[in-house]
Amino acid sequence: MYLTRLSVDRYKCFAGRVDIEIRPLTLLIGRNSSGKSVISRLPILLRHALSGDAIAPVDLTADGLEFGASFVDLVHGRSKHGAIGLGFRVEEEGGEYIDWWTEIQHIDDYKLQIVKYLRLDASEVGTFELRWTEAGDPLNPAYVVDESADPPVPFAFSGFLPASPRGDVPQPIVTAKAAALSAFHPLRHLGPLRATPSRDYVYPSRRLGDVGASGRNAAEILGADALRDGRKVLDAVAAFYERELGGWRLDVEPQGERFALVLVSGNTKVNLVDAGVGLSQALPLVIQRYVDTVRNAGGGVEVVEQPELHLHPAAHTGLADLYIDAVRRRPRPRFIIETHSENFLLRVRRRIAEGVLDPREVALYWVSDELGSSHLRPIPIDETGAVQTWPKGVFSEDYEEIKAIGQARAERTS
């Protein structure tokens, strides 16, 4: 199954309900602290809530990310007695679907989270609803099931998963959970600050396929590939670096039981530690793309924050092509990418205009903060790569600076 929609209501910086269509390549642009990361990191929170490992309906930490110091931090306006809504939709190409929506209420007197409403709508199991009666002991909440006239039933929640006092999970939930989790597997997150390189590394004792949240496994993947797998990933990464990143070719240099990552240009060899930060920050992204290509892996969701970080703008287009190529292969993941790079977006538009990329596979959103709430505005791209309506202020800085230069020049010469 594929993730096709994320939904939030009164969650963090979003005052009302927001539904975000997720396509193979979903791009989020906007100014700092506008709410992009609130959306991009949501799959991590949702997957954890479905995993069965959650303690509360919404755990504040998942996969090493902290979403708040307390539940109040998740509620828009930090209302002590507020509630939030979280949901998603996953679909299969054959028409199967799962719609999952959960509302969580904060009881400040008890510092307690209670699921006040759960609605599951799935092609395989139909509709299943739980509604909190709001009566009785909040430490032992009871629920009306499917609007029936039967007495309310007590349920405890691990994430979004209800269980009776005997530990029984309703069968519709069991069935839908397994299918929904498949849309989030694998779930990868590459944050804005990737791991800094080391001068040397130990060869890993197992085969790795995921660079990890900070890219901490990136070098080990290359070392193992050079030693055991015929350099297929390494050669692809090296060619990308040589083509897109200033002519330097990346290589693995054996050093007995250890190895180093080096950049080679002619007779010059430099340890990656001694090279520019941008070259090492891009490495986990590039490696993950070529690992999936060489091993024909994919599916799931990949969240990438600021892939262009520390790179010269000329290199941004090459990075964009890596993700464009990935969405054209099967199985393909859903990419949710935050970017501040105009060049990255221009390359996406160019590939659409060239007929390489289908505009229906791209969702572009402008995230803005207005009047105390974040807003999400879709920006359609047509089959020619054109954008009909740019929100005011999107990538307008160059134009404004050029106008200011012209005005200053005119004033000095008048």
| pLDDT over 90, % of the chain | 82
Residue with tokens 């755990």: 59
Judge whether residue 402 has pLDDT over 70: no
Which residues lie below 8 Å from residue 216, measured CB to CB, with a gap of 6+? Answer: 195
pLDDT tops 70 at residue 396: no
Position 215 scores a pLDDT of 92
DSSP 366-386: EEEEETTEEEEEE--B-TTS-
Q: What is the model's pLDDT at position 388?
A: 78
**CA quadruple 112, 116, 121, 124: dihedral, nearest 10:** 60
| pLDDT score recorded for residue 60 | 96
Mean pLDDT of 370-391: 91
Highest averaged pLDDT of the listed ranges 179-183, 330-334, 367-371, 387-391: 179-183
pLDDT higher than threshold 90 for residue 408: no
* Cβ atoms 187, 300 nearer than 8 A: yes
Task: Give the Cα separation of 336 and 339 in Å (integer).
Answer: 10
Is the pLDDT assigned to residue 400 strictly greater than 70? no
Q: How many CA atoms lie within 13 A of 384 on its CB side?
A: 3
DSSP annotation of 139: T
Domain topology for 1-186+298-414: Rossmann fold (3.40.50)
The predicted model gives 199-228 an average pLDDT of: 94
**pLDDT above 90: residue 227:** yes
Question: What is the reported pTM?
Answer: 0.93
Phi–psi pair at 223, nearest 5 degrees: -60, -45
pLDDT number for residue 150: 85
- CA angle, 325 as apex, 324 and 329 as ends, to 5°? 120
The answer, yes or no, to whether residue 397 has pLDDT greater than 80, is: no
For residue 293, pLDDT beyond 70: yes
Out of 104-118, 254-268, 309-323, 396-410, pick the least confident.
396-410
* pLDDT tier, 340 (very low <50, low <70, confident <90, very high otherwise): very high
pLDDT of residue 98: 97
Look at 104-108, 242-246, 318-322 and tell me which has the smallest mean pLDDT.
242-246
What letter does residue 314 receive in the DSSP assignment? Answer: G
Taking the domains of the chain in order of start, what are their residue ranges? 1-186+298-414, 195-296
Element (H, E) at 338: strand 334-338
Is-contact 287 233, C-beta < 8 A? yes
Check residue 394 and give its pLDDT: 75
Mean pLDDT, the chain, whole residue set: 93
How does pLDDT run across 31-80, given as a tens digit for each residue?
888 999 999 999 999 999 999 999 999 999 999 999 999 999 999 999 99
Residue type, 225: D
Write out pLDDT tens, residues 107-145.
999 999 999 999 999 999 999 999 999 988 899 999 999
* Residue 389 pLDDT level (bands cut at 50, 70, 90): confident
| pLDDT higher than threshold 80 for residue 401 | no
pLDDT at res. 390: 82
